[in-house]
Amino acid sequence: MSNQPSAQNTTLVLFHNDLRVADNATLSKAVSLSSNGQLLLVYAPSLTDDLYKKDNRQAYCYDMMGHARQRFLSESLTALDASLMQLGNRLLYLQDNLATSDTFTQLNELIQQQHVTDICVSQTADYDQNQVYKRLQAQNPQVCWHVQATATLFDKLPLDDLPKSFTAFRKKIESNYDLLQAKEDIVICPTLKSLPPMPETLQNSREYFFAVPTFDEPIFDELPRQLPDFKGGEPNGVEHLEAYFDSDAPSIYKTTRNALDDWTHSTKFSAWLANGSLSVNVVLNRLRRYERDIVANDSTYWIWFELLWREYFYWYAAAHQQKLFWFKGIAQHSPSTQFNQKRLVQWKNCTTPYPIVNACMHQLKNTGYMSNRGRQLVASCFIHELGLDWRYGATYFEQHLIDYDVASNWGNWQYLAGVGADPRGCRQFNLNKQAQQYDPNGGFIRKWQGEV
Ligand SMILES: Cc1cc2nc3c(=O)[nH]c(=O)nc-3n(C[C@H](O)[C@H](O)[C@H](O)COP(=O)(O)OP(=O)(O)OC[C@H]3O[C@@H](n4cnc5c(N)ncnc54)[C@H](O)[C@@H]3O)c2cc1C
């Protein structure tokens, strides 16, 4: 991939999980390439659908996005479009319209019709998305590609090899590149003041402009619907980041992070981090400022520790590629679990014999969020008590989680299924004990109607 700007540039940014303007190296690169040219800013959903159909991943019941995830994404795109408009351009949104053509074909046509010279994308560990990039490159060999890191603390794996366990990874990072302790803040991209215009021929093509889609609103029982503070988009993410660090919550994070249901008990950064509305560099700089100005203790260290888990799974997904989706994962043998329709439906419909699991699953279905503890419990139940093929569980999470991230989701599921990065093999939680420990008065189970 070349980094040389072409003479007469028409540059296209293909947004993926980098839905922000601040500290977005991909956008900054595109602006530098197109300073005398034109800039197309595109979001194309469903680009990977064909790939899903081709390998048999659709077999494990991949379905439309859950309503909460759809809403969060739509809010994120609305906010991105508003920010781009303020800078003098707009977000072009390719509709997946079966009557005409799929989004991949539309994107390809756009590249050709507009004589795109350069394409800028963010580096991703998403195997399917990378396959799409490869296909686009093959079909447009005249275009220069530019790839920037926007999702991770490190631009590339900062070690020679990826260690087999998170602990080994963390220890190496902390002894070689401890960004939490570093003297200087992480350098972030300068704030953009304006953007080059889009091509004139597109300026009135309303069919391309992003418009908030309508949703099929689900009909709920009397359960709470949405955690009120999960509003998608960069400004909301930044506001949440500031509110979190303006509170005392970071100083007690380690003692509260395992709670099942409270807004301030964990950072709740994941959804904005996952679709890139928040930059992880900005989050880490803010954490460092908190440590400098307020307090540095075990809890603030633990926020860094968890961000390192995210980093680890990113490089894990990048290293293992399609093995992330294999039943046997990166292990030598497949687990002894299997598909079972009846038990899968029980789990999804919140009617297992385990109230704590049902409550967590109701929470996920209704809000798009579940605590880390909840995720561990429902996954453990899925694999051990129900004996199910873990990939169906991972796919259900993919459909519903507003913070869905291919690396963190599939990496964590593999870990719990004993086919991933866990040196201790499979982990089974005692669900009754866990319920007593994390919901001693049964308030969570009552709120989320866990008793069948
Ligand atoms: C089966 C399973 C599936 C998961 N799927 C996802 C997913 O699709 N997307 C996702 O972002 N996280 C996933 N996680 C990790 C974790 O549960 C969430 O990141 C966390 O609950 C989000 O809430 P928070 O932002 O308040 O986290 P906090 O506890 O405040 O942690 C701070 C940040 O660290 C990162 N982080 C924390 N724990 C993990 C972890 N175990 N793995 C990777 N990153 C972590 C997240 O970016 C999080 O925002 C999954 C965990 C399990 C067990």
Distance of CA 170 to the CA centre of its chain: 21
Class in CATH terms, 234-322 = mainly alpha
In CATH terms, the fold of domain 1-150 is Rossmann fold (3.40.50)
Higher-pLDDT residue of 356 and 261 is: 356
Overall average pLDDT of the 20-49 stretch: 93
pLDDT in tens, 94-131: 887 656 788 899 999 999 999 999 999 999 999 999 99
pLDDT, mean of residues 370-385: 97
What atom in ligand 1 is closest to the CA of residue 313? Answer: 43
Q: What is the pLDDT of residues 51-107, one digit of tens each?
A: 665 555 555 555 678 888 988 999 999 999 999 999 999 999 988 765 678 889 999
Q: Which pLDDT does position 2 carry in this prediction?
A: 46
* Higher pLDDT among residues 266 and 338, named by residue: 266
Q: What percent of the chain has pLDDT over 90?
A: 77
Instruction: Return mean pLDDT, the chain.
Output: 91
Mutate to test the pocket of ligand 1, among 230, 403, 438 (most ligand atoms within 8 A of CB): 403
Fold match between domain 1-150 and domain 234-322: no
- Predicted pLDDT at 452: 84
Q: Is the pLDDT of residue 310 over 80?
A: yes
Q: Does the pLDDT value for residue 293 go beyond 70? A: yes
404 belongs to an annotated ligand binding site: yes
* Closest residue to atom 18 of ligand 1, CA basis: 372
pLDDT tens digits, 173-228: 999 998 999 889 999 999 999 999 999 888 887 777 777 666 555 545 556 655 56
Nearest CA owner, ligand 1 atom 5: 409
The yes-or-no verdict on residue 145 having pLDDT over 90 is yes
Pocket probe for ligand 1: among 408, 415, 419, the residue whose CB has the most ligand atoms within 8 Å is 408
CA distance 15 to 18: 6
- The domains of the chain are located at 1-150, 234-322, 326-447
Sequence-distant (6+) residues with CB within 8 A of 82 are none
Atom index in ligand 1 nearest the CA of residue 376 equals 53
**Is the beta carbon of 261 within 6 A of some atom in ligand 1?**
no
Distance 93 CA to ligand 1 centre (A): 29
Do the Cβ atoms of 364 and 370 come closer than 8 Å?
Answer: yes
pLDDT score recorded for residue 232: 95
Mean pLDDT, residues 284-302 taken together: 97
Q: Is 103 in the pocket of ligand 1 (CB under 6 A)?
A: no
Residues 6+ apart with CB under 8 A from 89: 39, 41, 195, 196, 197, 198
Residue whose CA is at the smallest distance from ligand 1 atom 47:
270
For the chain, helix, strand, coil in percent to 5 are 50, 5, 45
Task: Read off the pLDDT band of 289 (50, 70, 90).
Answer: very high
Is the pLDDT reported for residue 299 higher than 70? yes
Domain spanning 326-447: which superfamily?
A: DNA Cyclobutane Dipyrimidine Photolyase, subunit A, domain 3 (1.10.579.10)
Q: How confident is the model at residue 21 (pLDDT cuts 50, 70, 90)?
A: very high
Please indicate whether residue 391, judged by its CB atom, sits closer than 6 Å to ligand 1.
no
185 among annotated binding-site residues: no
Q: Six-digit token pair at 239?
A: 């506001």
**Could you give the CA distance from residue 256 to residue 284 in angstroms, rounded to a whole number?**
20
**391: confidence class by pLDDT, cuts 50, 70, 90:** very high
pLDDT value at position 47?
A: 80
Between β-strands 144-148 and 118-122, what pairing exists: parallel, antiparallel or unpaired?
parallel
268 is in an annotated binding site: yes
- Give the pLDDT score at 229: 72
